[in-house]
Structure 1
Amino acid sequence: MKAILYTLPVAFILSIACTSSKTMSFTPPAATTPPLPEFDLEGHRGARGLLPENTVPAMLKALELGVTTLEMDAHISQDGQVLLSHDPFINREHELLPSGEEIPQKDAKKYVLYQMPYSQIRQFDAGSKFYSKFPEQRLMKAYKPLLAEVIDSVQAYLQNHGLPQVFYNIETKSSPAGDGKYHPAPEEFVDRLVAVLDAKNIRPYAIIQSFDPRTLQALHRKHPDIKTSLLVENTKGLEKNLDLLGFTPHIYSPYYKLVSPALVEATQGRGMKLVPWTVNSLEEMRRLKQLGVDGLISDYPNLYKALSL
């Protein structure tokens, strides 16, 4: 498929960008502990299959498509800023140097986010390179935004379009092997992330998810009111994964092929929501919904409308 550079209507996005350096906060609908959606429709990295992942335009596109939760990934820059990125480095598969040139193969893992100030990270182009894994993705100049900017943009979009409040499902991208190299230790990671949530007044609508039990444990210990989601890709089973975590999270989020009727019954029997990832076909969405899952995470939130028909 030929890559076509795509430009969204930018008046709204530019207006947000002009105010992103200001301190903004919002007052979500009054609810001390708002319930999770009855059936949660999540946009993976915004709308990864349609627009560059973990960018402001991808998040706004997901809102346009009616998601109830925005799923995203968080990293920490050298200067302690919380930004959106799945990978701990600038990924040459779908990102370009500030000059617009390709990143050489020898430099594939050279540009580590935790070793660069955010001002430098922002200069890389995160949206103009054709990504063969997602050929429908519309190309556009984009950058890795701060979490604070994403929240500002989302909340303003919701208000301007009269849309209901959504949840923010934020993954802490960490592992024991990455401490001090790709990210700070769990306590600092959690502290920096929660500071942004509180500054933006969206704590009640935040879900923190991770494959790394340590960040969830630190969060649960210091901020037990914040919703948690355990991401799972192993076959250890529910009980062993929960024993390792040490507490019952609000959400159990396995790779979708691990979902079975027994897992649905077991998770819901323990008071958890079951929200599998990453489900990218309408057929699989319907199958999982029929099994009784409590939500879906998809790169293609445009499919959700057909799911509800």
Structure 2
Amino acid sequence: MSEILKFGHRGAKGYVTENTLASIQKAMDLGVDGIEIDVHVCKTGELIVFHDFTLDRITNGTGEIGKFSLSEIKQLKVEKLYSIPTLTEVLDVINNTIIINIELKGENTAKPTCAIIQDYIETKNWTMDNFIVSSFQEKELVDVFNHNPKIPLGVLTKASVNQALVLAKKINAKAIHPNLALLSKDNVKQAQEAGYKVNVWTVNTKQAIERMKRYNVDAIISDFPDRL
């Protein structure tokens, strides 16, 4: 049985507010192999690390994140305590020590993500092995593939493992990222025999973690990475 990689979901979401630098640092302190974060493009073009399309759930702002400039976003507080980070701020905290799974949430996130990845490889000695770019959005994944086919891709799905495999083949993805509820021992094996890694989300309970380990998935993404 191969070693199953431990990924923190939006940092260490179960302990510190999601997608904040503090949450990412907490995940690293817990000894993760990687973290998963989400990105949107803001009004001024920067990549912002934030899950929702609107600010309302966890910040003191309201409205669509894509309609705010970086300076406006930096004035907001997440749960009265944290700032919303940029992708480059997150990469600088990680400092080439673990894998980062960048989920493309918003539209038009593919090309600026590719540019940042290339910059960190060329100027900061990162390698492609440090990155996974994933998305539910086929268009964004295709855009990454067309822009730089060397970037490792993960096809996110909460609907169908088979559909994810079809897209994975089309864009030469390295992995599929299925929701926990979709997996059986058989379809994990099927995906792996087809040449894809299976990185499953979001796995939090002891029973679910043990089941995913029995299925021998390649990585488990959890809000509580210390449980893995």
1:41 equivalent in alignment to 2:10:
no
1:297 equivalent in alignment to 2:221:
yes
1:63 equivalent in alignment to 2:28:
yes
Rounded to whole Å, the distance in 2 between the matches of 1:243 and 1:150 is 32
What does 1:2-41 align with in structure 2 at a 5 Å threshold? 38-41=3-6
Runs of 5+ consecutive residues of structure 1 not aligned to the other structure: 1-36, 98-109, 129-140, 159-164, 175-182, 305-309
**Could you state the TM-score of these two structures normalised by the residue count of structure 2?**
0.91
Pick aligned residue for 1:198 from 85, 95, 118? 118
What does 1:127-166 align with in structure 2 at a 5 Å threshold? 127-128=79-80, 141-155=81-95, 165-166=97-98
Higher strand share: 2
1:216 matched residue in structure 2: 141
1:267 matched residue in structure 2: 191
1:167 equivalent in alignment to 2:107:
no
Runs of 5+ consecutive residues of structure 2 not aligned to the other structure: none
Counterpart of 2:103, as a letter, is E
Rounded to whole Å, the distance in 1 between the matches of 2:92 and 2:7 is 19
% identical equivalent positions? 29
Rounded to whole Å, the distance in 2 between the matches of 1:167 and 1:91 is 29
Rounded to whole Å, the distance in 1 between the matches of 2:215 and 2:201 is 15
**Could you state the TM-score of these two structures normalised by the residue count of structure 1?**
0.68
Rounded to whole Å, the distance in 1 between the matches of 2:37 and 2:208 is 22
Secondary structure (helix, strand or coil) at the match of 1:219 reads helix
1:95 equivalent in alignment to 2:59:
yes
Rounded to whole Å, the distance in 1 between the matches of 2:218 and 2:165 is 19
Residue 243 of structure 1, CA deviation: 2.8
Secondary structure (helix, strand or coil) at the match of 1:145 reads coil
Rounded to whole Å, the distance in 2 between the matches of 1:243 and 1:290 is 25
Rounded to whole Å, the distance in 2 between the matches of 1:85 and 1:228 is 20
Instruction: Work out whether residues 38 and 50 of structure 2, in 8 Å CA contact, stay in contact via their aligned partners in 1.
Output: yes
Instruction: Work out whether residues 242 and 248 of structure 1, in 8 Å CA contact, stay in contact via their aligned partners in 2.
Output: no
Q: Deviations over 1:257-300 (max 9, x none)?
A: 11101111111111111111000112210111011111100011
Residue 214 of structure 1, CA deviation: 1.2
RMSD, aligned CA: 1.7
Rounded to whole Å, the distance in 2 between the matches of 1:252 and 1:81 is 27
Instruction: Work out whether residues 59 and 76 of structure 2, in 8 Å CA contact, stay in contact via their aligned partners in 1.
Output: yes
Q: Deviations over 1:30-75 (max 9, x none)?
A: xxxxxxx942110000011100100101001000101101100000
Q: Deviations over 1:95-143 (max 9, x none)?
A: 224xxxxxxxxxxxx4211111011011111133xxxxxxxxxxxx101
Rounded to whole Å, the distance in 1 between the matches of 2:198 and 2:91 is 25
Structure whose alpha-carbon radius of gyration is higher: 1
Rounded to whole Å, the distance in 2 between the matches of 1:273 and 1:42 is 14
Rounded to whole Å, the distance in 2 between the matches of 1:298 and 1:242 is 23
Pick aligned residue for 1:281 from 176, 181, 205? 205
**Structure 2 CA distance for partners of 1:297 and 1:115, relative to 1, 3 Å:** same
Instruction: Work out whether residues 99 and 131 of structure 2, in 8 Å CA contact, stay in contact via their aligned partners in 1.
Output: yes
Instruction: Work out whether residues 30 and 225 of structure 2, in 8 Å CA contact, stay in contact via their aligned partners in 1.
Output: yes
Residues paired across the two proteins, number: 221
Residue 199 of structure 1, CA deviation: 2.4
**Structure 2 CA distance for partners of 1:272 and 1:244, relative to 1, 3 Å:** closer
